[in-house]
A and B are shown apart, each in its own frame.
Chain A
Amino acid sequence: MADSSRRADTVTLTIDGHEVNVPKGTSLLHAAETLGIEVPHYCYHPGLSAPAQCRICLVEVEGAPKLQPSCVTMAQDGQVVHTESPSAKRMRQGVLEFYLVNHPLDCPICDMSGECKLQDYVFDEGREQGRAREPKRVFGRDDFGGDVLYYGDRCVMCTRCVRFMDEVAHDARLTVVERGDRAVIDTFFESGLDDASFAGNVVDICPVGALVSKDFLHKARAWDLDHTPSICPNCSQGCNIDLHARDNLVQRLKPRENQEVNGHWMCDYGRANYEWINRAGRIESPGVGRSGKRRAADWQTALGALLDRLRESEGAGVRIVGSPLASNEALGTLHRLGRAVGTVTESVFRCRRTEDEDPLPGFPLLVRRRDLAPNVDGAGILGFERAGSDDATGGLGAAASHDGILVVLGDQLGDQPEDFGADASLYVYLGTFDSPAARNADFVLPVTTFAEEDGTFVNAQGRVQRFEQGLQAPGSARPAWLVLGALLAALEGGNPPGSAADAFAALAAEYAAFAGLSHDAIGTAGAVPEPAHA
């Protein structure tokens, strides 16, 4: 420890009796965090500037004349800091009491209840009974536009939202008006946060229930939600998110910190588009035979029959229609199966694209991309080509009248006619929803969405990122890599993949772009392949 403290770029200090070595320029709050000590804070947020105005992170620094705000006080060599000393605790209790003077304490009807920092800190350290006798001031609520609703009574005036719009969105639409106990956050114009494409983040960073999402309002309690680390499926940026699910339904998406991709943020477009994951009416069991003669079958029967057909037609031309919503595991295993059966003459995907991108100015890495699907780059690596127009229609003329083996994975073929694949010698449709264009399919196999399986996507930066299973699949739907991997193993010998990690390992062995990667190596933060793919 003595050696490292002499290095110019680090300092050693003592916090609550524990010595810690941190880089120069680290705040006391961060230094305490590395020791696992949480100093309460409201106005400080790691993605924003620190105005040191909430006054709840004050700590005692030996030698300093009074308590210091730990969010802006930089660690210095030899400092001795006490976060739990009587003076620091007394001060925190006092600050919390002031916060509660006008706070309505409406936790039972507040959406933030259960994940509220005011609730947590008061429960930990606050007074049991308030001493304020005066009536509380009442503001009611204000519609800020967009998805954001403001309850002025609950606000602790940390101004995180004001600073986010100013510093990160570079679109200062919020401000503090009035002073003292009449101070509220307000918008400048009537339009408020309408059309602001990143305003949903102010709901995430609000430490109390002052800013809440209209979409999520009263929908679920924080403690009822199961959190699953996942990847936003709504554009090829691949923001790291948590799926918050209750009763096997996704209730909301929240950004998960990843400084290489999305920081602490995500866009409103991605945040709002989750209902399609919950859509009912899925295909629940495999179907065998063309429409009219189709009957439901169990997996063993369906795959057995499909295997016989594949063996019969070995060497035929194979056309594959994939989807940029499918995982690398699914697309890669599909392509390998196609090559194992015959000659892949065409493998395409169709993707909805917008006219332009939508960047977040204060965090340039985060851009809402043109491609509105998560795995466009992964599909490219795995040998799929873009087809069709920017609204994901057309481009399947050759596939529609193909006379060899035709496999569709994940594309709902909404624009295709009913005679799609009528000439195909074997037409396999793996999907989540039945489609008129699947009428001629010899096999309709139910597969899972990204939320119901483990897997990986490759985002627009070429970063391979993992997502985990958050929901139970409906009926007997199975991950596509499991279905296709079983067929491939039956044709080529070897063991079928038992997990998405196995399926990915097979791809890593075959595709140079994934060489050296595994699910373990990708972890929760994702990984960029070395060397980067062309």
Chain B
Amino acid sequence: MAISVKVMRRPEAGRTSYMRATLKGMSLTFKHLLRVKKVTLEYPEDQPDLHPRWRGTHRMEVHADGRPKCVACGLCPTVCPANCIRLVGGEDDQGNRYPIVYEIDEFRCIFCGMCQEVCPVEAIHVGQHFENAEYSRNRFVYDLDRLMEQDHPTTLLWDPSDPRSE
């Protein structure tokens, strides 16, 4: 079978005007200049809206008197698939069970949110937060004080008005 060859005819120099194509292109450009629809987010001046289920670095809820809500039940280190939670339980001077050591290695964490899901006292939460830069790696192991200091909003893993919907 013979090969068919299509010969493209190039515009001949000096005999073709590019004016129409130029105007067409420029009209699009000027249209965008006038139509103010910004796609670029001017971070960090503008902060993004995070989805309610965004799962970021952790936060420990505290009681009104400043104690952590955690009762050191040991469910989060048990359920954690990345094994990034270290917990040592103990008893405080009022006879309450509390975490003597509570550490989360945020580098190991895979942000699945199962620690929040399993927590029986709604103490540990994943948060709507993503700005985690630090000057050293060991700052990424969040201890209990650090987790209690965090003030970013916590993640809503389910609709609070319908807790069984999950």
Q: How far apart sit A221 and B89, CA to CA, in the bound complex (Å)?
A: 9
Would B75 and A108 count as touching, CB distance under 8 A?
yes
Q: Which residues of A contact B74 (CB under 8 A)?
A: 221, 224
Q: How far apart sit A102 and B120, CA to CA, in the bound complex (Å)?
A: 20
Q: Let me know if B78 is at the binding interface, CB within 8 A.
A: yes
Q: With A218-B89, A218-B90, A219-B89 given, is the CB distance from A109 to B97 under 8 Å?
A: yes
Within 8 A of A (CB), among B67-100: 71-75, 78, 89-91, 95-97
Q: How far apart sit A109 and B96, CA to CA, in the bound complex (Å)?
A: 9
Nearest chain B CB to A111 CB, angstrom units:
9
Q: Which residues of A contact B95 (CB under 8 A)?
A: 141
Q: Let me know if A527 is at the binding interface, CB within 8 A.
A: no
Q: Let me know if B121 is at the binding interface, CB within 8 A.
A: yes
Would B78 and A223 count as touching, CB distance under 8 A?
yes
Nearest chain B CB to A187 CB, angstrom units:
20
Q: Let me know if A245 is at the binding interface, CB within 8 A.
A: no
Nearest chain A CB to B115 CB, angstrom units:
14
Instruction: Give B residues with C-beta under 8 Å from A.
Output: 71-75, 78, 89-91, 95-97, 120-121
Nearest CB in chain B to that of A218: its residue: B89
Q: With A113-B73, A221-B74, A224-B78 given, is the CB distance from A108 to B91 under 8 Å?
A: no
Q: Which residues of B contact A141 (CB under 8 A)?
A: 95
Q: With A108-B71, A109-B71 given, is the CB distance from A218 to B78 under 8 Å?
A: no
Would B78 and A108 count as touching, CB distance under 8 A?
no
Seed contacts A218-B90, A223-B78; 5 additional CB < 8 Å A-B pairs: A107-B73, A107-B120, A108-B73, A109-B73, A224-B78
Q: Let me know if A80 is at the binding interface, CB within 8 A.
A: no
Within 8 A of B (CB), among A78-119: 107-109, 113
Q: How far apart sit A34 and B78, CA to CA, in the bound complex (Å)?
A: 34
Nearest chain A CB to B6 CB, angstrom units:
74
Q: Let me know if A505 is at the binding interface, CB within 8 A.
A: no
Residue in B73, B91, B96, B120 whose Cβ sees the most chain A Cβ within 10 Å? B73
Q: Let me know if A422 is at the binding interface, CB within 8 A.
A: no
Q: Let me know if A528 is at the binding interface, CB within 8 A.
A: no
27 interchain pairs, CB-CB under 8 A: A107-B73, A107-B120, A108-B71, A108-B73, A108-B75, A108-B120, A108-B121, A109-B71, A109-B72, A109-B73, A109-B96, A109-B97, A113-B73, A141-B95, A217-B91, A218-B72, A218-B89, A218-B90, A218-B91, A218-B97, A219-B89, A221-B73, A221-B74, A221-B78, A223-B78, A224-B74, A224-B78
The 10 closest A-B pairs by CB, nearest first: A108-B73, A221-B74, A109-B97, A218-B89, A108-B120, A109-B71, A108-B71, A218-B97, A218-B90, A218-B91
Q: Which residues of B contact A218 (CB under 8 A)?
A: 72, 89-91, 97
Q: How far apart sit A285 and B161, CA to CA, in the bound complex (Å)?
A: 62
Nearest chain A CB to B146 CB, angstrom units:
23
Nearest CB in chain B to that of A222: its residue: B74
Nearest CB in chain A to that of B87: its residue: A221
Q: How far apart sit A113 and B73, CA to CA, in the bound complex (Å)?
A: 9
Q: Which residues of B contact A109 (CB under 8 A)?
A: 71-73, 96-97
Q: How far apart sit A211 and B120, CA to CA, in the bound complex (Å)?
A: 23
Q: C-beta contact mask, A109-150 vs B, less than 8 Å → 1, else 0?
A: 100010000000000000000000000000001000000000
Q: Which residues of B contact A217 (CB under 8 A)?
A: 91
Q: How far apart sit A309 and B74, CA to CA, in the bound complex (Å)?
A: 54
Q: How far apart sit A141 and B94, CA to CA, in the bound complex (Å)?
A: 12
Q: Which residues of B contact A219 (CB under 8 A)?
A: 89
Q: How far apart sit A207 and B73, CA to CA, in the bound complex (Å)?
A: 19
Q: How far apart sit A99 and B96, CA to CA, in the bound complex (Å)?
A: 24
Nearest chain A CB to B113 CB, angstrom units:
19
Q: How far apart sit A284 and B151, CA to CA, in the bound complex (Å)?
A: 46
Q: How far apart sit A221 and B95, CA to CA, in the bound complex (Å)?
A: 18
Nearest CB in chain A to that of B119: its residue: A108
Residue in A107, A108, A141, A217 whose Cβ sees the most chain B Cβ within 10 Å? A108
Q: Which residues of A contact B120 (CB under 8 A)?
A: 107-108
Nearest chain A CB to B101 CB, angstrom units:
12
Q: Which residues of B contact A113 (CB under 8 A)?
A: 73
Q: How far apart sit A287 and B91, CA to CA, in the bound complex (Å)?
A: 43
Q: Which residues of B contact A221 (CB under 8 A)?
A: 73-74, 78
Residue in A141, A218, A219, A223 whose Cβ sees the most chain B Cβ within 10 Å? A218
Nearest chain B CB to A151 CB, angstrom units:
11
